[in-house]
Amino acid sequence: MTAAMTESQPSMAAQQDTLIRLQNLTVAYGDVVAVDGVDLTIGAGEILGLAGESGCGKTTVANSIMHILRPPARIAGGGILFRGDDLTAQSAEELRRHRWRNVSMVFQSAMNSLNPVMRVGDQFVDMMRAHERISKSGALDRAGELLDLVGIDRRRIRAYPHELSGGMRQRVIIAMALALRPELVLMDEPTTALDVVVQREILQQIRDLQAELGFAVLFITHDLSLLFEFAHRIAIMYAGEIVEEAPAARLRDEARHPYTLGLIRSFPSLTGPRERMTGIPGSPPDLSSPPHGCRFHPRCPHCTADDTALYRLQTTVRPVLRDIAPAHRVACHLVEQRG
Amino acid sequence: MTASISAPVEVRGLTKHFAAGTGLLRNRSRVHAVDDLTFALRAGTITALVGESGSGKSTVARLLARLYDPTSGSVLFEGNDVTSERSREDVLRYRSRVQMIFQDPFGSLNPVKTIRHHLSRPLRIHERVPRSGMDARLCELLVTVGLVPPEKFLEKFPHELSGGQRQRVAIARALAAEPTVLIADEPTSMLDVSIRVGILNLMLELKERERLAFLYVTHDLASARYVADIVLVMYAGQIVEQGPAERVLQRPLHPYTRLLLASVPDPAAGARERIEVRKGLASAAVDPPAGCRFVERCPLRVGICSEVTPELVAARPGHSARCHVTAPSPAIREDNHVESAHPALPR
Ligand SMILES: Nc1ncnc2c1ncn2[C@@H]1O[C@H](COP(=O)(O)OP(=O)(O)O)[C@@H](O)[C@H]1O
Ligand SMILES: Nc1ncnc2c1ncn2[C@@H]1O[C@H](COP(=O)(O)OP(=O)(O)O)[C@@H](O)[C@H]1O
Ligand code: SF4
Ligand code: SF4
Ligand SMILES: [Mg+2]
Ligand SMILES: [Mg+2]
């Protein structure tokens, strides 16, 4: 349990063994296309970070993989393959088994979702017994082990949620997500509501557990700065599309998409000169009528009428993700032109 | 006591204790949520109050906003002790000068009222403009906080705005009273990272243009470095380190400040040490015994740490810390030779 936070090399296994493959996935809420033609893979044992501003479709991606979309949401196109099997073609019973066993999820603001009048241990037992044949005492034993694993005294199994701090509740939720030993854990903004110290403790712990147990993680956040240290690979999402994808260290040092660069320039640093930052002007588009061409063009500093040919491309033709280096893909006309 | 124009607000020995526990579990124990704080908020200065959740930051903000009465100590406004002022007029006058901005821009705005309503209310209550000048002033306020064109925003409801825009409305509302002091309690923590910078820049502009005295409460040290002139680090109800922002954040004295710094995600930082996961903050401020409140989590602790309560000592000019090892008082240094007992601090 001593893997340093800074070892961010993707394991070779991750590259060989694809766990999840999203193929041209499109998800709509009525007229709102929240996820539009997303291609993304998650390797076994890999931590994939998914970053972007609120409203870009990150949670919708996770809900699709977990297969818990509810009307008005529907998969309007494409597929979700788990170890090669298309989930969109599976029966309700198969999907029920898929959830929590293959893939589990830590929901956005999950720490407030524990049942306030039920002891933590009983909530574990209920969840486990809904998915596998296990005795109550067996389930409680496992719950105790899991609490140990996330650094909570196992006697806390008798605690009620309000007796735990926010950070402890979030750790309980993470322990529950690990209970059925899934191969992939989806974490939707798991540390957003927590202060820096607790956030760092939890990230460190997820990293340790991941190294020990070997599950893969899809880690969703609007705070890209977290991912550079924590993720193996990072995908950037904007207005329903993936606009850039690269290994974490490469994205930190050689990001190319203007949106990614804008995100990177949005967080002040503790080191280096103290200089004024601009952030990204404007806000993400309303997805019921996204901008034509490149969806980022209304906010992009490189979209000016100076270069007429480029401007026409930016405002009329949707850029597609292209490899610019091994494992580094970018969807941007300018990057494509300049190479 | 001389009126100090450059420091509109000063607090001296400010203290707030609460009964520990809740409901039936309430007992005789006391949480020393804020313990003997002394500092000043100067005009044209942003003072950041940083610490983990539970360290007492919001209680300080609430004491300054006069939402709580202190257990002891005083709050001076322009040199006058306001702690004992209780008449409605006095409180209203104080509140118009010392305004507060909260964490959740949605929770603090009434969903069924327009932006016009939210901004004109303080103008009327504090009688800041005649009725005829109302519209012009409303627009001016919106422009000040970067909501342009202002006419577009006046008739909107809070849910029609983004999180960042709502926080700007909350700031405009605070400015309507023409305060000299703004207390902002985690004003950006509910906002997207990309929007935070805009709010931080707005704070910098207001500080420069309006010469406001700002107290910026946050657990985000990188944003504190970005905006603050002065940093106060709080742990378990006490200020454990204070000084010019760049000194405190680049050459921290207190082990707790170092822990906070090590926790910040910082892509530029390269390889970093693991932080020790330790507990104890929740109990450190409950009936605290003599000694350092950080002792259970401290990697540098020595024998006296659990016996003698460290004082705030200016170890460097204008930069003080509450630590026997990194900022020993002369007496402690003589008696214990602590300086030779610990290895040189990295960083
Ligand atoms: N239940 C819903 N009904 C209608 N639209 C929705 C619903 N949930 C999300 N959306 C829309 O889908 C888009 C993506 O939302 P979401 O996946 O939650 O993004 P993120 O997690 O990145 O903030 C948003 O623009 C939002 O308006
Ligand atoms: N109204 C209250 N009643 C009892 N205890 C309180 C109250 N407000 C705060 N506390 C306690 O005081 C301590 C400091 O809390 P707070 O000022 O909210 O810290 P922060 O804002 O740094 O998270 C905590 O232990 C908290 O539980
Ligand atoms: S395609 Fe053009 S508008 Fe879009 S991100 Fe690239 S440079 Fe900006
Ligand atoms: S006084 Fe002792 S325990 Fe407290 S911070 Fe300093 S070294 Fe650590
Ligand atoms: Mg989301
Ligand atoms: Mg607080």
pLDDT tens for the 347 residues of chain B, in order = 444 457 899 999 999 999 886 555 556 788 999 999 999 999 999 999 999 988 999 999 999 999 899 999 999 999 889 988 878 888 888 988 999 998 876 677 888 999 999 999 989 888 888 888 899 999 999 988 888 889 989 999 988 888 888 888 999 999 998 899 999 999 888 788 888 898 899 999 999 999 999 999 999 999 999 999 999 999 999 999 999 999 999 999 999 999 999 888 876 655 556 666 556 666 788 889 999 999 999 999 999 999 999 999 999 999 999 999 999 998 877 776 555 444 444 43
Ligand number nearest to the C-alpha of B26: 2
pLDDT at A200: 87
> Is B268 in Cβ contact with A197 (below 8 Å)?
no
Of A198, A266, A268, nearest to B194 by CB-CB distance is A266
pLDDT at B190: 78
Atom in ligand 1 nearest the alpha carbon of residue A56: 22
Which one of B204, B235, B266 terminates a domain?
Answer: B235
pLDDT at B24: 55
- Rounded CA gap, A174 and A168, in Å? 10
**CATH number of the domain to which B50 belongs:** 3.40.50.300
Question: Does residue B244 belong to any structural domain of this protein?
Answer: no
Which one of B172, B203, B235 terminates a domain?
Answer: B235
Indicate which residue's Cα is closest to atom 14 of ligand 1.
Answer: A57
Query: Long-range pairs for B117-126 at CB < 8 Å and ≥24 separation?
Result: B118/B158, B118/B169, B118/B173, B119/B169, B119/B172, B119/B173, B119/B176, B120/B176, B121/B173, B122/B96, B122/B173, B122/B174, B122/B176, B122/B177, B123/B176, B125/B92, B125/B96, B125/B177, B126/B92, B126/B96, B126/B176, B126/B177, B126/B178
pLDDT at A9: 47
Question: Does residue B345 belong to any structural domain of this protein?
Answer: no
Shared domain for B216 and B282, answered yes or no, is no
Which one of B202, B235, B268 terminates a domain?
Answer: B235
pLDDT at A1: 34
Range of the domain at B82: 9-20+30-235
Is the ipTM, as predicted for this complex, more than 0.90? no
CA distance B224 to chain A (A): 9
By C-alpha distance, which of B27, B21, B57, B24 is closest to B39?
Answer: B57
Shared domain for B179 and B316, answered yes or no, is no
Q: State the Cα angle at B68 between B63 and B71, rounded to 5°.
A: 85
pLDDT at B6: 73
Low-confidence stretches of chain A (pLDDT beneath 70): 1-16
pLDDT at A12: 43
B contact residues 79-138, partner A, Cβ 8 Å cutoff: none
> Domain residues of chain A, as ranges?
114-175, 270-338
In chain B, whose CA is at the least distance from the CA of A282?
B195
Shared domain for B131 and B277, answered yes or no, is no
Chain A residues with beta carbon closer than 8 angstroms to that of B162: 283
Q: How many residues does chain B have?
A: 347
pLDDT at A113: 78
- d(CA A55, ligand 1 centre) in Å: 6
Shared domain for B197 and B68, answered yes or no, is yes
> Is B192 in Cβ contact with A264 (below 8 Å)?
no
pLDDT at B216: 97
Say if CB A83 and CB A67 are below 8 A apart: no
pLDDT at A269: 86
pLDDT at B139: 93
> Is the distance from the beta carbon of residue B100 to the nearest atom of ligand 4 less than 6 Å?
no
CA distance B212 to chain A (A): 19
Give this prediction's pTM: 0.88
- d(CA B81, ligand 3 centre) in Å: 58
> Is the distance from the beta carbon of residue A293 to the nearest atom of ligand 3 less than 6 Å?
no
- Rounded CA gap, B230 and B244, in Å? 5
pLDDT at B188: 86
Split into its structural domains, chain B has a count of 2
pLDDT at B338: 54
